[in-house]
Chain A
């Protein structure tokens, strides 16, 4: 069963618009990671959140973890074509009593930024 739900599955936005991607878990998250992937390439680490209410920013991307540590959002301000790709959230498997410290991933959100 899928333990991390991402929404939306895909997103098309006009350049310059803001957008938000959500990642929801049914269980408390001990570590929540955001990655970006270009098609056919590896994952690029963006940010990691651990504490309830934590917020981190890098350039125009901001990630937040809610107080209950069950939901995270990724917000992009003034989107650019370079933001296009697949965004994946991953959670430490300790949250799911799974394999060691590997990550469980959501299915990803595909983002397209149009001119």
Chain B
């Protein structure tokens, strides 16, 4: 079955640690996105990638980094520079650039201890 997988579902991090969230898709989509969801604030864009080896900052990229070495994979690293990383992280993908539907993964809940 085609879809988007995110792992782990729950992640706990100590302050000062970097952690990497995985996002994999087998939909053959060119574009991938990372969003952060906080209670009462909706979704906010962290990074997006329209093609392999290229990615762009979104509205809240500070403290995060990404890579896009393969079409299927778009991992997100939450660095120690991110001041308030506790949130629900959602990965999405779409066929390409333009007005195409984005499909979302199940999400990863990150908690900083």
Q: Which residues of A contact B (CB under 8 A)?
A: 2, 30-31, 33, 35, 40-45, 48, 50, 88, 90, 92, 94, 98-103, 105-108
Contacts and interface: CB of A to CB of B under 8 A. Distances in A.
Contact of A45 (B33, B88, B101): B101
B105 interface: yes
Contacts of B104: 35, 42-45
Contacts, number: 70
Contacts of A35: 104
Interface string B79-99: 000000000101010100111
Interface in B1-53: 4, 6, 31, 33, 35, 40-43, 45, 48, 50
A102 B99 contact: no
A106 B42 CA distance: 6
A38 to B, nearest CB: 10
A21 B104 CA distance: 22
12 contacts: A42-B4, A42-B104, A42-B106, A42-B107, A43-B92, A44-B104, A45-B102, A102-B48, A103-B33, A103-B43, A105-B43, A107-B42
Contact of A107 (B41, B100, B109): B41
Contacts of A50: 99
Contacts of B88: 40
A101 B40 contact: no
B89 to A, nearest CB: 10
A20 to B, nearest CB: 20
Interface in B53-95: 56-59, 88, 90, 92, 94
B102 A103 contact: yes
Contacts of B105: 42
